[in-house]
Every structure is written in C-alpha cells, then in structure tokens.
Amino acid sequence: MRRTWWIYLIAVLGLIAVAAPFVWMLLGSFKTQGELLRVPPTWLPEAPTTQNYDDLFSKANFPRYFLNSTIVALAVTAGNLLFCSMVGYALAKLNFHGRNALFVVVLGTLMIPGVVTFVPLFVLVTNAGLANSYPGLILPFLVSPFGVFLMRQFFQGLPDDLMDAARVDGSSELGIFARIMLPLTRPALATLGILTFLGSWNNFLWPLVVAQTEEKYTLPVALALYSTGQNAQNFGLLMAGAVVVVLPVLVIFLAFQRHVTKGIAITGIK
C-alpha cells in the first residue's frame, strides 16, 4: 500500500499534462480577447462570455463547415463499412484466383504515404470535374486498405462450419455473407465505423487541396485557414473553433472507446 501512492501521483501528473491543454482551450473559448492576451495568463475566465461562439456561428459560417464535415465523414464511413466488409469476407472466406495477390497488394499499400498520391489524385479529380465537390472529397476515401485488413482479420476468426451449414441448407454465397456472416461482425463494424469516422473528421491534407471555396471547407480546413490568415489575431474565435472541431469526436470516442482501443490493439494500426 505504501508503494502505490506515488504510482498514482505519477499517473495523475500525467493526466494533468495531457488534459491541461484541453482544459485551457475550453476555458479560453469563454474569455475575451483582452483576457486571452493578459500576462500572466488567467485560468478561469473572469467575465465568461459566449461572444466567441456567437461570432463563430454568425460571422464565420461554421455551421456550413460543420455540415460539410458531417456529410463527408458519414459518407466515407458508410462506404468503408460496406466495401471493406465485402472484400474482407472474400479474402478471408472465399476461394478464388488472385486472392493472395489481392491481399499482398492491400498490405503493400498500407505504408504508402498520402503525399505520394495527392498530386496525381488532384490532376485526376480536377480532370473529372470533381474539384471542389462532395464526390471529390469523398470518393478517394470510400475504401481503405486498413479497413479491408481489419475486416479480414475478424472474418477469419468466424468458424467455417456456419457457411457449410448454410450451403447445405441451399443458401447462396452472397446470402451467406449478408445474412449469416456479416451480422456476426457487428463489433468489428463498430470499430471500423468509429475509426473511419474519426479519421475522416480529422482529415486535413486532401480537403485542403480539393475544397477551394468556402462552401466546401471542412472544419479542420476552415480552422487552419482561419488560424493562419487575417483572423489569426482573433484568439477567442480560434479557441471556440477548436472546441467545435474537437467536441464531436470527444463525445463519440468516450461513448465507444472500448471499440476503438480494442481495434487498435487487434490490428496494431492507428
């Protein structure tokens, strides 16, 4: 018992170090511009104000960016759940020519840096007339090697006997996938769905390149441009903007954190 108190002390100090910037952000978003610049800085807002949030939603068009982020993240998540489970099932449970080759290609692309593909992707998307459009933001992310890998791992853990039994009962191959196997992977789908949503919500480089007018900005793009442009001096607005970017993922993560950490531990990939 004597040994444990300092272990908890270290753990709590770590917790403070991790959480302090978040708390600082949340408190800062309720401060006035003058108070944010004060030396030495204050912790609690002296005269709490919601002015920053009012400005965010009236002047800065953040509802639009919020909607864009939501549309893109939901579409990307839906696509990944559908297509990655289909391929993952085929790779894990079906016998077909080229299965191993397909799997090797999927694994190989896991380590290609995003920066390698974005110039030709940009040329492609521009020539297809999809620049500055939702399809341009969504299509390149509808499938992911990571998702295929994750779903394949889960499907492999399911017993083949289930499929054989269904075949004896006269079920079609696609019926076996859709009605018997897919419902059993609900935990895997939850993991993939949450990770994909978080990844898409936080995605930055591609939307920065594709979204060229304000109506198509996603939240991170808008916040980044606000924080480097002329508005860079409006610190309260930036703090409130950061809160709006972080809060949804925070809520989703806290509600489903079990799935997230389990998925990370299983596949070992962020």
Partner 1 sequence: MSSATLQAPEVPQRKSSGPAARSRRSGARGRQTAAAWILTLPFVVLFLAFTAGPVLGSLGMSFTDLKQRDLRTPFAVNGVGFSNYVKALQDETFRKAALNTAYFVLVGVPLTLALALAAAVLLDRGVKRFQSLFKVAYYLPVITSIVAIAVIWRFVLAPESGLLNTVLSWVGIDGPNWLASKTWAMPSLIMMAVWRNFGSAMIIFLAGLQGIPATVEEAGQLDGAGSWQRFRYLIVPLLRPTILFTSVTTGIGYLQFFEEPFVMTQGGPLNSTVSVSMYTYQQFGFGNYGVATAMSYILFVVIAVITFIQFRLLREK
For partner 1, the binding residues in 92-131 under the rule CB under 8 A are 94-97, 99, 102, 105, 109, 111-124, 126-127
Q: Does 255 bind partner 1 (CB under 8 A)?
A: no
Min separation Cβ 167 and partner 1, Å? 7
Please identify which residue in 56, 72, 76, 238 interacts with partner 1, judged by CB under 8 A.
Answer: 238
Q: Which is nearer to partner 1, 47 or 101 (CB)?
A: 101
Query: From CA 183, how far away is CA 260, in angstroms rounded?
Result: 19
Within 42-81, which residues bind partner 1 (CB under 8 A)? none
Q: How far is the CB of 71 from partner 1 (least distance, A)?
A: 17
Q: In whole angstroms, what is the distance from residue 49 CA to residue 95 CA?
A: 63
- What minimum distance in Å lies between the beta carbon of 62 and partner 1? 13
Contact 93, 181 (CB under 8 A): yes
| Binding segment toward partner 1, per CB under 8 A, in 33-41, 48-56, 59-67, 185-193 | 33-41
Cα torsion 169, 172, 177, 183: sign? negative
Contacting partner 1 within 160-179 (CB under 8 A)? 161-162, 164-165, 167-168, 172-174, 177
Q: Is 245 in the site for partner 1 (CB under 8 A)?
A: yes
DSSP structural state of residue 141: G
The single-letter DSSP state of residue 142 is S
Minimum CB separation from partner 1 for residue 232, in Å? 9
- Closest CB 54 distance from partner 1, rounded Å: 19
Distances in Å between the Cα of 11 and the Cα atoms of 6, 19, 64 are 8, 12, 40
Cβ(69)–Cβ(218) under 8 Å?
A: yes
Contact (Cβ atoms closer than 8 angstroms) between residue 112 and residue 145: no
